[in-house]
Structure 1
């Protein structure tokens, strides 16, 4: 592994990730960068476990989604375990040779061999207070992911986690601003139509939300849509 070259590539990657326009684009760039930058990596994906189910957040390479599906279906596998056990100390896994027996995941290992997976490594994508799932790297050739290559994956994941955290923060802020705008517009409609104060208009929205168990922003959007329909 040429570490100086890899460090330069990491610097470029950090800037590239921060330029992405959405969380999904950031996830996709992380997976694609793993294949591009890590020696011997044939495919990469990001797996999360939500309510006990394996969810593929992003993939680059034809074996990723099938591998994730199998792990979720079987309830076993290194990527599934890593993402599911985010609260534990173990943050990295490395399988040097998938053609050998894997006692921890016997059913998955057998299926993985049929998929043509020879070697795997994975790293949690996380910051100090957040876990985003696991970045998993696949190679068709056994013995691909040495300790050096696994370390390269860990460095990639560390850069990616910071960029992903920033992307999520920006996405949440943009969503909050859009929600605030929608609620403000709906309140304005009620105030104009019924001569309400802003406090009364907000209370109407809140009561509808609570009574019908509908999110406040969705109530606001329905009021906006109804006015648009009347105007069209």
Structure 2
């Protein structure tokens, strides 16, 4: 793990190593600026608290069913997702679309639930997998997904401790996804509000120009702008912007 990974928890706080990892993860998620950064923190924390983990990834499932791997500790995770998408079965694919908390196999080479994916995953060097659901009931455009942990040896992740840790990590990841999406939505709404205010300002400028040029009042100026925009099939704000920025060069036709 990076040298600065434990700097988010004060040294004098008496917590267990596992508690420290989750405290650090929470602090980092609160500071994350993007979905990708948040998921990267979750993946690295998972690698730290699951001692048998060889590869960790997050898979997101789009509304069209396609899988994406925005965060991983090894490029082989992308290949594992690609195999599941090809065969139509596999742990992360099923965890991402079902309400069950997790999908597990301690013997991928002979896993009856995934007769095609299992042997291929074993051929890539993996004996066990634990995939935990992320937002399984997500409504588009939000994506459902899974937190995936692969071990080289068979027989791993079958105990309650491994599954409880995975569930806690998946909960953090789900909250991070919801939080970053909320931030993006808030930013979008703020941008839309600024655009609306700017549009009102530029319309006011255009109205003032027409009032001065044509000796009309504010209501008459707005009515002329509206009617000219309809005649020219140009948005009102765009028409006003053109007049306000090029008023010394052009004049509008009579409505």
Same structural fold, with TM-score higher than 0.5 when normalized by the shorter chain: yes
How far does residue 71 in structure 1 lie from its aligned partner after superposition? Answer: 0.9
Contact 1:83 1:133 in 2 (8 A): yes
Is 1:162 the counterpart of 2:179? The answer is no
- Distance change >3 Å, CA 113–CA 127, structure 1 → 2: closer
Larger RCO of the pair (alpha carbons < 8 Å, separation 6+): 1
The aligned residue for residue 9 of structure 2 is none
How far does residue 64 in structure 1 lie from its aligned partner after superposition? Answer: 0.8
Q: How many residues align?
A: 207
Moved over 4 A (4+): 127-131, 193-197
- Distance change >3 Å, CA 115–CA 179, structure 1 → 2: farther
Q: Distance in 2 between matches of 1:116 and 1:146?
A: 19
After superposition, the CA RMSD in angstroms is: 3.6
How far does residue 128 in structure 1 lie from its aligned partner after superposition? Answer: 9.0
Q: 2:114 aligned to 105, 126, 137, which one?
A: 105
TM-score (normalised: structure 1)? 0.74
Provide Cα deviations, 1:112-161, integer angstroms capped at 9, x if missing partner.
11221221101112399777411111122222323121221112112232
- Distance change >3 Å, CA 9–CA 117, structure 1 → 2: same
Provide Cα deviations, 1:176-210, integer angstroms capped at 9, x if missing partner.
2123223433454455447698xx79xx8xx99xx
Is 1:79 the counterpart of 2:69? The answer is no
How far does residue 22 in structure 1 lie from its aligned partner after superposition? Answer: 1.5
Aligned-partner SS, 1:106? coil
The aligned residue for residue 66 of structure 1 is 79
Q: What pairs up with 1:1-232 in 2 under 5 angstroms?
A: 4-50=16-62, 51-85=64-98, 88=99, 90-99=100-109, 101-126=110-135, 132-147=144-159, 148-193=161-206
Q: Distance in 1 between matches of 2:88 and 2:177?
A: 27
- Distance change >3 Å, CA 194–CA 140, structure 1 → 2: farther
The aligned residue for residue 217 of structure 1 is none
Gaps spanning 5+ residues in structure 2: where?
A: 1-14, 211-217, 246-255
Gaps spanning 5+ residues in structure 1: where?
A: 212-219
Contact 1:94 1:150 in 2 (8 A): no
Provide Cα deviations, 1:85-124, integer angstroms capped at 9, x if missing partner.
2xx3x1111211223x122211111211122122110111
Contact 2:97 2:136 in 1 (8 A): no
Q: Distance in 1 between matches of 2:54 and 2:137?
A: 30
Q: Distance in 1 between matches of 2:57 and 2:204?
A: 49
How far does residue 31 in structure 1 lie from its aligned partner after superposition? Answer: 1.6
TM-score (normalised: structure 2)? 0.68
How far does residue 53 in structure 1 lie from its aligned partner after superposition? Answer: 1.5
